Amino acid sequence: MKVPVLFFMIILVLFSCKKESGGNIHDKEIIIDSVFVNNAFVSNGGTIGNVDFGKVSVKIKFRSKVDTALFNKKRLFFTDEIDTLYSHKFDESSTSLNIILLQALQPLTLYRMLMDVGYNMGGIVFKGFTFAFITRIDSLPKFPVISDDSLLTLIQKQTFGYFWDYAHPVSGLARERFGSGDLVAAGGSGFGLMAILVGIERNFISRREGFERIRKIADFLINPATDRFHGALPHWLNGTTGKVIPFSANDDGGDLVETAFLMQGLITVKEYFKDGTSEERAMCDTIQKIWESVEWNWYRRNDQNRLYWHWSPNFDWIMNMPVSGWNEALIVYVLAASSPTNSIPKSVYDEGWARNGSYPMKNGKSFYGIQLPLGEDYGGPLFFAHYSFTGLDPRNLSDQYADYWTQNVAHSRINYEYCKLNPKGRRGYSDSCWGLTASDIQFGYSASSPTNDLGVIAPTAAISSIPYTPVESMRALKFFYYTLGDKLWGEYGFYDAFNLSSLWFANSYISIDQGPIICMIENYRTGFLWNLFMSNEDVKNGLDKLGFTY
């Protein structure tokens, strides 16, 4: 029978406690009534945050008087190196135990306390008590404080190293992420090309060094051995051989969106070098050939009034993913209309991308008092406001569907307000710690947004929005660098993401997150990349064709 067995087990526990400590089975039960950490209540099994790491005191209140002379310190201990390194004192009524930790604690660290079951303080603790506490952030600057202008330059220079020092040695293209070896990314390489131009302008490298690297990239891309699919590049390719590396089971062909990000970078480069030396002009001719070879119109899939994201020689159109707005891909339709060789008509833009103004292209609702012209509710991940706009200048850009400066400012402000208000109570979110976008997460990758909030902040989100939210982005940038810099700042700038609820910090760098940081900071400071890209005659023709004013 279950009941007698359970009864026998209880008796066995009682006698075990008696044998171990000399106690009597009739000793009273010791019940913990409440626990406070630095005067803040914490429940059994609970976690409390923002605890001062300089001084931690714990107060344990018992339901009735205990025998203080029989306190067994070994049954109340902390994790890590603390263990029993604490001083303790009972109050005069013998109903409260006050503990002060003697071990120096680390900021932004998780610790646990456990009151073990068994004989203690003249009775038996049948129900143990455990809780966790997270020490607060150390607000002191981790690095010397410098001027805002110098800080922006430092971040650009450190981030630039990813695309310069860590570029693939054979092709010069940007590796997909830190540790990806031969795997390079088409889209990330487009941002990397722009980063090289910034490096030249900021004197991180010489013009000659930048030219040599970009010529290596252009020669690699035009080489017949490099896989192209009706002119489009794959999402991933081998930086040594130029052969496609499948992005997924059926995605082993052309990726029109990643190709557009690459072409955006190449066109910007062409405008920079087009009036240069004979070698530089020859490289620009190569870039023009690469640009003209993309069969944008063919990706309409039998002349439909839409463009498709993928095509594979092995799986044809099986991915079946139209490029439709609103998302990161406005640049695809702008370039498709701009192509001097394989252009699309305006009807493809209106019906395929803009859906003739229907949702989710147009929104018009307000969030936190901010009207959002386009896209999903609350704006979606912030890379929508970055990827197409590293070259495409939104400052005076508008068409029948939206003013794109208004759109990107609204999107960034909504993301900021969401994090500041923190409706889900994520630890650490504030007006200084914000920014939801696609990034690494603990054990994976996700496109974070206000409607997909996993508690993960990605520095690229707020920093790359600096043209749209300069005050809010600068505040976040300083927080990431000065306050979290000992955990978040590394060889190639800011690590990809972090989660203060779980105390997780990525050690990764991803090209499509690093690229917008250096590019959008430069556009904020000088408009450099915007001015170059928008001066291209093909791009102007495409924008005119689609009915944009700019």
State pLDDT tens for residues 367-394: 999 999 999 999 999 999 999 999 999 9
- Single pTM value for the model: 0.93
Task: Say which CATH number the domain at 98 has.
Answer: 2.60.40.3710
Residue 186 and residue 69 in one domain: no
Q: H-helix or E-strand containing 41? A: strand 40-42
Distance, CA of 396 to CA of 178 (rounded, Å): 36
Greatest alpha-carbon pair distance for the chain in Å reads 98
Distance, CA of 545 to CA of 364 (rounded, Å): 26
State the DSSP code for 180: -
Residue 197 and residue 127 in one domain: no
Number of domain units in the chain = 3
Sign of CA dihedral 159, 163, 164, 168: positive
Residue 427 and residue 288 in one domain: no
Residues 6+ apart with CB under 8 A from 470: 524
Is residue 24 very low, low, confident or very high in pLDDT (cuts 50, 70, 90)?
A: low
- Domain end among 318, 334, 361: 361
Q: Centre a 10 Å sphere on the Cβ of residue 473 and count the other Cβ atoms it contains.
A: 24
State the DSSP code for 202: T
Q: Centre a 10 Å sphere on the Cβ of residue 353 and count the other Cβ atoms it contains.
A: 27
State the DSSP code for 398: B
DSSP secondary structure string for all residues of 146-165 = --HHHHHHHHHHHHHHHHHT
Residue 244 and residue 333 in one domain: yes
Residue 114 and residue 245 in one domain: no
Residue 26 scores a pLDDT above 60: no
Q: Is 71 a domain residue?
A: yes
Residue 350 and residue 400 in one domain: no
- Domain end among 361, 385, 404: 361
Residue 231 and residue 312 in one domain: yes
pLDDT digits (tens, 9 = 90+) for 65-100: 999 999 999 999 999 889 999 999 999 999 999 999
Q: What is the pLDDT of residue 539?
A: 98
364: tokens are 């018009």
Residue 394 and residue 498 in one domain: yes
* Strand ranges for 218-334 from DSSP E: 236-238, 254-255, 310-311
Distance, CA of 168 to CA of 242 (rounded, Å): 12
Task: Say which CATH number the domain at 259 has.
Answer: 1.50.10.140
Q: Is 546 a domain residue?
A: no
Q: What is the pLDDT of residue 475?
A: 98
Residue 219 and residue 107 in one domain: no
Residue 3 scores a pLDDT above 60: no
pLDDT digits (tens, 9 = 90+) for 391-431: 999 999 999 999 999 999 999 999 999 999 999 999 999 99
Residue 349 and residue 394 in one domain: no
Residue 200 and residue 237 in one domain: yes
Q: Is 55 a domain residue?
A: yes
Q: Is 402 a domain residue?
A: yes
Q: Is 14 a domain residue?
A: no
Q: Give the SS3 label for residue 185.
A: strand
Residue 126 scores a pLDDT above 80: yes
Domain range enclosing 407: 374-534
Q: Is 148 a domain residue?
A: no
- Angle subtended by helix axes 186-201 and 207-222, to nearest 10: 160
Q: What is the pLDDT of residue 80?
A: 82
Residue 382 and residue 467 in one domain: yes
Q: Is 475 a domain residue?
A: yes
Distance, CA of 128 to CA of 450 (rounded, Å): 39
- Rounded to an integer, the average pLDDT of 351-376 is 97
Distance, CA of 404 to CA of 417 (rounded, Å): 20
Q: Is 146 a domain residue?
A: no
Distance, CA of 488 to CA of 200 (rounded, Å): 26
